[in-house]
Structure 1
């Protein structure tokens, strides 16, 4: 069957290639060219473009609408001028508007991207895949993005130093930009040719227009930009930026008895340094010593009953910037060779302490230093090298004033190297990645792997004006450690070599290494006409292991998926655009077991009034899960159907909302899932924005995994009927006094409660009928003891055969941040932070609101007050 899918996959691309060679009727748009000139005098960057410094420059004009009605004249035109001197690029922008009183001048902090705005898109590499994007709003707020993958990825973490301002007048609004060449990357040619496009958003109409027209059926974006000519004699601008910082932090919390480490308050001081050095005009070295991430927003609340790790997005600035260069996603979902959250993680060890001793364990591992060398050369090389060292971390144990230390995280070196090379007129690339993790165990913490190495290759080829593509990623891993560490790896939830019904894997307690592979082959059609399609095959071998510096949930899987969709791209009296997609997925393990089949039909439509609707219908006739019983036999879930429906109002309005409903059901009511989502955004005036998102989920399951026990020579896998309810609300408040001074609040209470009853055990784990799959305990077989544990007398002879703990839970988390941010000079900032939070378990007999009240309102919250100052030397 796997061979059949591979033949189908290859046949699809063969026919696609033949078809596209015979059908070459794509829309061709001539490239516009703007010829810049050297500045004679210099303008004042105040947003007013009446300076005589602009007079000798020509206007670039004649914009074309992109959204909603591509190829037509926009409601109002836009024009621009570009000049330069030895160090800077200067840009003047004029956005016409016959109703200037309706221009949305919404204030936000940097990168807010709210209201009327213009993006200047500069492909200074001229590689037709990468661009630096500078944005200014009608309120003078600036933002920047690094666009990669020909416009498929936009990274707002890039934070260059540049200057801009904007003003509204009786003709619309104007803006000026002054961009240092040191913030761009370009080659050494005597006369530069750069890619250029200007994008304007008329916010109240949700209308986008472009200087260089890009038809909707064209797959690329940066590759289709116009050109900037006339840049002559540019000298390489060696970038040198040094940014020291200092942090003062004060924590308060409820005192914990005689615990000397929790006496009610702590005070700390920290200092460090970040630096950016331009090695060449293409490549940059970033350094950080003892970085602090105190102002980073807290992770959202989450709980996973399946036992797998939860993926959280990276939010720390040092690792976020240029993350696209290091990315190597090789399979579906979040699996990646590099997951930077591993660096600086919570210590993995724990102290050996008695009940009369107190322990102080660090929350995170200290990053002693990190260096990142990255960039892209004019001849098509993308290069990224990351080197990081984290320190030994010790838990301090106090026994009546006598203290000792125990190692809980070893000194560790993390290394990542990534490279890609464009060729074939930038239509193809080939690349590779290498990572290593090396721990100084020194005879301690031997449950950790001593070293881990990963290598990967990737390739992509696009043809027929980039409408068609094929891509492949291959990964190999090798981990080394003690027998204890490698056995733990084999038995972890990611691998489960001890599965009782698996004949292709088994635990070998004498092994000291594992080597595995993974990869993906995929491709399809993403441009040209109204049809789009793709197909994919990916695999993760049983021994693949990436979790030392990557992210990998499970192995032992071969997955095939395919999609075909149709787009309506020309507006009508009813809608602006619409899309419908048919998706199919199947999966197998390396023993050949056919585990999953899934079909879905989904679509979205943007109505003419800017409201929108999304609908998805899914059918899963086959669901087998190798990991559900955590080392037990392969488990079958009943046939499932679910629906997803979301709709929302015009997001350009000062009050807008979105509502979502997700409903899942299965045969014999094995399990179900219902989620309600409501989001509200309110902009009462230009400088203030409030948003509220609340989610409520009911997730009952008759066969939720609980525990396992030995019943004589038989292993019992114990399940239960869980009534799980989860509720969270996220509130964000943003007040901007001016583009450089803002106050933000983020708060999220989260609670998830699960109550169990009707316990049962596995009988025939792969039976189609639920009543054959499990056996329910009779009332005389199971009782709850005074301590809360469940006692099982399976043979009803009056003697307890086995027992398990009460699995009921109610987990509460509250996180909030109040941050005042002042960028007092470009690139230098002052943060004032007040963070509040609590995490804990409450009585599961309480209601959801009662549990929140008990943990949040009735307890003393932990408070953190932080002052952080940075200064950027240029």
Structure 2
């Protein structure tokens, strides 16, 4: 029961004000969530939580006793990074519908972490504006938190009834305790929250936040130097207590994390992570149905460089081809009604983009449109009911100005659970409509039935995707024109044994069948997975994959209706991680794949140590090496033949990361990546209609590839006020690709560092302005 606050509280972690010491109800008697689920917390580690509120926020205090306070783990990290530290958290569901939590964590060093949580994911890209502080004491540690109503969503009601839970993590013992018991025999966690009552008659302030920013860049390479000054504004407006509008004007993403460029020999594009805050924060509604791949907005132009080159005259060449399209602005509206209807709308506009073409005879230039002015829309309606089920409608639309391609995708998604969260029935139906030189429509559907509780669990699902289903204008989809069946059975221990803290054994069978030929696709597998954590907190996972029959790849030939035979194969991996509480930790994952074909195999080793010098400084390094022997892959198409090659492919990636936390608001981070990969062709073949290969002794074009990439980021970040950040970044990078194979690592490293290296220094300032604070001052 929350108590109304009558006096000011200093959020200093001391918990000595009258609001906390007098007549405030205590939440205690915590129960272990993991590893020994259901075990009461010991008296010498008892935890006491209190909640008060006013018209602006709720306030939470927590007293956490520890009989060995000197052993409390206290690593300093940057925001949203847990590290080796104890934690306290509050999970809030303002609608008490068992569907989504707002989670707020504080570490024993005062570092904040927050996320939007569903049963499937915890989205830590979401950042709220809230306050917290901690204090170490002779008996343990304490926390104070102030969570403004602007950071969460709830219905407009005289009396609020929220779902709530509190969590305490004792890192050195790998133990987590919750106030309201979460029974791990039940698959659903969010439905097992407690209830917070007592918040009544609140008059919440206007939710209007302005975040102006300014940034400056200096960029230099071997040929030119450039200075850029930018300024812009983000706006967050609370339409009501449940709905929020986010708008970004004149966006600047210059300090987002670099993309990990690779040598891509696959028939599909490389899927890239989203690092732009506008497209990561609060987008959980838009991700329902997996129809939204935000990198489409402001990504590659729709007209590729190769398409432009194919239309050039004999004396013309491309002098400038932008690889990305500029985002003009974006806005999103999201929230949920009192009756559980979630509504999300996202709109973004990208500018008209040109390639510059030069005539080599007279040096005249002309431009060609490679991306018209484009509008992107997403609409999501998500109805939740019975605290554990939902039905959703999704529509994505891409409209390009002029005669360019347009797309409209509509989906219906359902997720139904029994009252006791014992069984689940879920699925979807999606329909795509493409307006191009040829108009075409397609469908995609999925249905799943699962037992989601107990030691023994299982699931069955089936999929169907038609040949013409296409969601790639605002989504990402690789495989079409197939149907499939998937079965998973699993056994897990729910409490520790004398050998393991956790243990799960899974058996999976997946069969994908091409619609047109009824041939089995190469995306099929039979797999056994064993995952466990020992009593000494070592983690390992063993996976064994077997495909005991011939399959077919319908994408590697790069031509509709053709396919490549894939022989039987076996693969396995073993992932191992040492106890993360140790100063020196080590991860290693070896894997191997063997085909039923002479001398065709591959192996991979991922390994890396991390050393924590103290609670402020740590450094980590990992290497990832893959060697594929006698790999078979596409290299070329001519007028009559599809050319494949037998090749050796090697890939090496080294990453160096470092962190020095000055305090819980200031951090210096290092991230360096060197990547080298080559593909060396040995023999060439023609692809026959039956999917097999015959020797081609006349093809002699050099299709070897040698690719190097280097990225280096050194950054300083200071959260000098809630929601306000100063960032400094030094970045250098270069990339090089050639068809001359160089197998010597030192020569490749020298080559990339002698290439045209781009150096960038930037500084960015973002300042959070609360309309109510400004109004009060004036």
TM-score, normalization by structure 1: 0.83
SS in 1 for 2:548: strand
By how many angstroms is 1:759 displaced?
2.4
CA distance in 2, matches of 1:688, 1:354: 59
1:416-495 matches, cutoff 5 A: 416-423=378-385, 425-441=386-402, 448-449=404-405, 451-482=406-437
Structure 1: 4+ residue segments shifted above 4 A: 350-358, 396-404
Match of 1:774 among 677, 693, 698: 693
After superposition, the C-alpha distances for 1:379-417 in whole angstroms (9 at most, x for unaligned) are 111111011111111234567886544322210000110
Does the CA contact (< 8 Å) of 2:99 and 2:384 recur in 1? no
The answer on 1:53 being equivalent to 2:19 is yes
The match for 2:775 is none
TM-score, normalization by structure 2: 0.94
By how many angstroms is 1:551 displaced?
0.6
The match for 1:23 is none
Does the CA contact (< 8 Å) of 1:459 and 1:473 recur in 2? yes
Does the CA contact (< 8 Å) of 2:56 and 2:204 recur in 1? no
The match for 2:255 is 295
Query: Which ranges of structure 1 fall in alignment gaps of 5 or more residues?
Result: 1-34, 256-263, 330-335, 483-511, 767-772, 783-791, 793-802
CA pair 353-634 structure 1, distance change in 2 beyond 3 A: closer
By how many angstroms is 1:756 displaced?
1.1
Does the CA contact (< 8 Å) of 1:118 and 1:198 recur in 2? yes
1:815-826 matches, cutoff 5 A: 815-826=711-722
SS in 1 for 2:597: helix
The match for 1:629 is 557
The match for 2:657 is 732
CA distance in 2, matches of 1:822, 1:354: 55
Match of 2:63 among 75, 85, 94: 94
SS in 2 for 1:195: strand
CA distance in 1, matches of 2:191, 2:750: 57
The answer on 1:199 being equivalent to 2:161 is no
By how many angstroms is 1:356 displaced?
7.9
Superposition CA RMSD, Å:
1.9
Does the CA contact (< 8 Å) of 1:436 and 1:453 recur in 2? yes
By how many angstroms is 1:648 displaced?
1.4
Deviates more, 1:296-305 or 1:558-567: 296-305
CA distance in 2, matches of 1:54, 1:702: 67
The match for 1:62 is 29
After superposition, the C-alpha distances for 1:541-589 in whole angstroms (9 at most, x for unaligned) are 0011111111111211111111000001221221101010110011112
The match for 2:2 is 36
Does the CA contact (< 8 Å) of 1:106 and 1:686 recur in 2? yes
The answer on 1:695 being equivalent to 2:624 is yes
CA distance in 1, matches of 2:507, 2:7: 59
Match of 1:137 among 107, 110, 118: 107
After superposition, the C-alpha distances for 1:828-853 in whole angstroms (9 at most, x for unaligned) are 11111111111111464312513531
CA distance in 2, matches of 1:682, 1:190: 53
1:144-163 matches, cutoff 5 A: 144-148=114-118, 151-163=119-131
The match for 1:574 is 499
CA distance in 2, matches of 1:737, 1:354: 60
The match for 1:411 is 373
The answer on 1:546 being equivalent to 2:476 is no
CA distance in 2, matches of 1:159, 1:353: 51
SS in 2 for 1:856: helix
Q: Which one has the largest radius of gyration?
A: 1
CA distance in 2, matches of 1:269, 1:252: 15
The answer on 1:868 being equivalent to 2:772 is no
The answer on 1:642 being equivalent to 2:537 is no
By how many angstroms is 1:867 displaced?
1.3
Does the CA contact (< 8 Å) of 1:545 and 1:552 recur in 2? yes
CA distance in 2, matches of 1:123, 1:248: 40
Does the CA contact (< 8 Å) of 1:754 and 1:844 recur in 2? no
The answer on 1:120 being equivalent to 2:90 is yes
Does the CA contact (< 8 Å) of 1:327 and 1:338 recur in 2? yes
Match of 1:328 among 277, 281, 288: 288
The match for 1:525 is 451
By how many angstroms is 1:439 displaced?
0.7
By how many angstroms is 1:807 displaced?
1.2
Deviates more, 1:590-599 or 1:395-404: 395-404
After superposition, the C-alpha distances for 1:274-314 in whole angstroms (9 at most, x for unaligned) are 11000111010100112111111112232331221121121
SS in 1 for 2:476: coil
The match for 2:776 is none
Does the CA contact (< 8 Å) of 1:295 and 1:819 recur in 2? no
Does the CA contact (< 8 Å) of 2:703 and 2:739 recur in 1? no
CA distance in 1, matches of 2:275, 2:702: 37
1:97-246 matches, cutoff 5 A: 97-114=66-83, 115-148=85-118, 151-246=119-214
Query: Which ranges of structure 2 fall in alignment gaps of 5 or more residues?
Result: 771-778
Does the CA contact (< 8 Å) of 1:140 and 1:166 recur in 2? yes
By how many angstroms is 1:452 displaced?
0.6
Deviates more, 1:663-672 or 1:827-836: 663-672
CA distance in 2, matches of 1:749, 1:354: 38
Does the CA contact (< 8 Å) of 1:744 and 1:820 recur in 2? yes
The match for 1:6 is none
By how many angstroms is 1:73 displaced?
2.5
CA pair 406-101 structure 1, distance change in 2 beyond 3 A: same
CA distance in 1, matches of 2:33, 2:745: 48
The answer on 1:338 being equivalent to 2:338 is no
Does the CA contact (< 8 Å) of 2:55 and 2:205 recur in 1? no
The answer on 1:282 being equivalent to 2:242 is yes
CA pair 707-354 structure 1, distance change in 2 beyond 3 A: closer
By how many angstroms is 1:700 displaced?
2.1
